[in-house]
Amino acid sequence: MNVIMDYKKYIAEKINVDGVAAAEIEAAIALPPNTELGDYALPCFKFAKILRKAPVKIAEELAAQITCDNVIKEVSAVNGYLNFKIDKEGLAKDTLAEILKIGVMGGEYGSSTEGNGKTVCIDYSSVNIAKPFHIGHLSTTVLGSALYKIYEFLGYKVVGINHLGDYGTQFGKLICAYKHWGNKEEVEKGGIHAVNDLYVRFNSEATEEMEAEAREYFRLIESGDREANEIFEWFKSLTLAYVNKIYERLGVKFDSYNGERFYSDKMQPVIDELEEKGLLKTSEGAKIVDLESYGMPPCLILRSDGASLYATRDLAAAYYRKANYDFYKCLYVVAYQQNLHFKQIFKVLELLGKDWAKDMVHVAYGMVSLEDGAMSTRKGKVVWLEDVIEKCVEKAYTVINEKNPALENKREIAEKVGVGSVIFGALYNNKIKDIVFSYDKVLSFEGETGVYCQYTCARANSVLQKAENVDWSQFAVPELLPQEYEVIKTLASFPDAVKEAAEKFEPSIIARYAVDLSQKFNKFYFDCKILTAEEGAKAFRIALTAATKQTLTNALGLLGIGVPEKM
Ligand code: ARG
């Protein structure tokens, strides 16, 4: 149930605009940020055309038609807006009942069943075997994981896919480098770092001869040679063991690790179909799909030596996902540098006549860099994601220790706060924006951070602990103070925030929501007494605190951030 929706529906039913469906009116009703004029507002501008009247006039006429009742307390027309003041206490009662009924233990508030029966595939993190897992992978990993949790919360079945980068000539290079310079013990000990060192060394020191050897090793992997494949599988298991530890820390999970290699024997049907449908052209010996009339360079399907490409494997992967999961949507959480790639893939699928091409979405995001500058994989200067997380956890420990040295479980709390700060830092801005990651910023207790939200939760929790002996379950809603109403209104809009985040593939909506709710709650907390309030208000304020804690916990949980009981 969604309290705000119910109120919008109720209000919409009272409004009659000729030629406009009630559902459309309902969708147009907004919550003005400033509640002085009203709690809900209908902008009348979009009806001007249909009604051939000025919006100001429309609002005035509509206002005159509506009679107030015990839900709608006041109606006014202001500058083309139809404003409503509602029974705030009624909203407070409904909202708190909704949260607390399922709250305290269940924590389902904000969830829904809208996705039941539908499957969403999410391709995210998609690591490259034997390459560093660096700060550039932060966004795809945490964005994908948040979308996973959000869709699941809305009742969808979600398939999380780590489309491993486990195919390509670089693996021939790696094996060659290992053969020349590597030894087993060192690689076992150094793990992915040792493997990466080999790759970096190959790129700076390899001779012509070694390059030729590397090509031969790649061919050997492809043709199923045992030794080459064993080394490759070994590098793969080292990489996965390494990234899995990070995934575990970040609370990230996958249902499939089918990577590029998995599709190497599944491309032929796609190529045949392209051929049959007359879409495949030969250009300088290569096979391509010409996309010129769509303003794009051709999509390369087979190189002149017959080798497949990244795009070929992605086409095969799309077929596979449709056949196996029958997805309602298939998301690719991949940096905007690959915009063209996905536009091409989606277009080729469309040309193949796949009507489901419209259900494929490239969820593009911006770059993350550190304050002290850029990084490059080739030269081996790269910021490993693990180190960023570790540093945040260490810093969190220092801060917590300073603020509250007597706290129990400081290490455990520092882990939640440190990891949370990294995740929140990556999710707070609109995903397409480039971000500069700053340790001090993400760990600030006062800024718009995960720590701030976690701290707010701990504060609410401490109030609740002190209220242990108060029976507040039978609270009545007193006449609301503005600070209280702001919290209520924000609490009531959580389900909408979740829905919107899913619709726009934008977890930042939930991150911003969490900050907004924290700010509103803290204002209430500082302005209004809770435990020492007079009897009439006390139970209600404790209930408001409990509902805030629950809702904040749910919001942060959807982002993959845990909440310590104490901080
Ligand atoms: N491994 C690729 C990279 O690091 C990302 C793969 C994204 N997923 C896909 N289906 N193309 O660039």
Residue 258 CB less than 6 A away from ligand 1: no
pLDDT value of position 104:
47
Residue nearest to atom 5 of ligand 1 (CA): 126
**For ligand 1, what atom is nearest to the CA of residue 137?**
4
CB of 334 sitting under 6 A from ligand 1:
yes
Q: Looking at ligand 1, which atom is closest to the CA of residue 338?
A: 12
Which residues are CB-contacts of 445 (< 8 A; sequence separation ≥ 6)?
399, 403, 451, 452, 455
Ligand 1 neighbour 312 (Cβ under 6 A):
no
Q: For residue 163, report the distance from its CA to the centre of ligand 1, in Å.
A: 6
- In this structure, the residue with its CA closest to atom 9 of ligand 1 is 163
Q: Could you say which DSSP state residue 135 is in? A: G
The sheet carrying 299-302 orders its strands as 280-283, 286-289, 299-302
Distance (Å, rounded) from C-alpha 512 to C-alpha 500?
A: 12
Mean pLDDT by 10 residues, the chain (567 residues): 86 90 92 88 93 94 94 95 95 92 67 96 96 92 98 98 94 95 93 91 94 95 93 95 96 97 96 97 96 97 94 98 98 97 98 98 94 56 90 96 94 97 96 92 93 97 95 92 96 96 98 98 97 93 96 97 95
Q: What is the pLDDT of residue 532?
A: 95
CATH architecture of residue range(s) 3-86: 2-Layer Sandwich (3.30)
CATH number of 418-559: 1.10.730.10
What are the tens digits of pLDDT across the range 57-85? 999 999 999 999 999 999 999 999 999 99
Q: Ligand 1 atom closest to Cα of 128?
A: 1
Phi, psi of 457 (to 5 degrees): -60, -45
Does the CB atom of residue 475 touch ligand 1 within 6 A?
no
Which residue minimizes the CA distance to atom 1 of ligand 1? 165
Measured from the CB, is residue 133 less than 6 Å from ligand 1? no
Cβ of residue 165 lying under 6 Å from some atom of ligand 1: yes
Instruction: Judge residue 185's burial from the number of C-beta atoms within 10 Å of its C-beta, 0-12 exposed, 13-18 middle, 19 or more buried.
Output: exposed
Interval between CA 365 and ligand 1 midpoint (Å): 13
pLDDT for the residue 373? 61
From 12, 73, 84, select the one nearest 41 (Cα to Cα): 84
* pLDDT score, position 374: 54
* CATH class entry, domain 119-264+311-363: alpha beta
* Alpha-carbon span 271 to 514, nearest angstrom: 48
3-state DSSP call for residue 462?
A: helix
pTM: 0.94
Instruction: Tabulate helix, strand, coil % of the chain (nearest 5).
Output: 55, 10, 30
Task: Please tell me the distance from the alpha carbon of residue 120 to that of residue 108, in angstroms, as a whole number.
Answer: 20
- Joined together, the tokens standing for residue 448 give 């718009």
Domain 119-264+311-363 matches domain 418-559 at the CATH topology level: no
314 close to ligand 1 (CB < 6 Angstrom): yes
Spans of all domains in the chain: 3-86, 119-264+311-363, 418-559
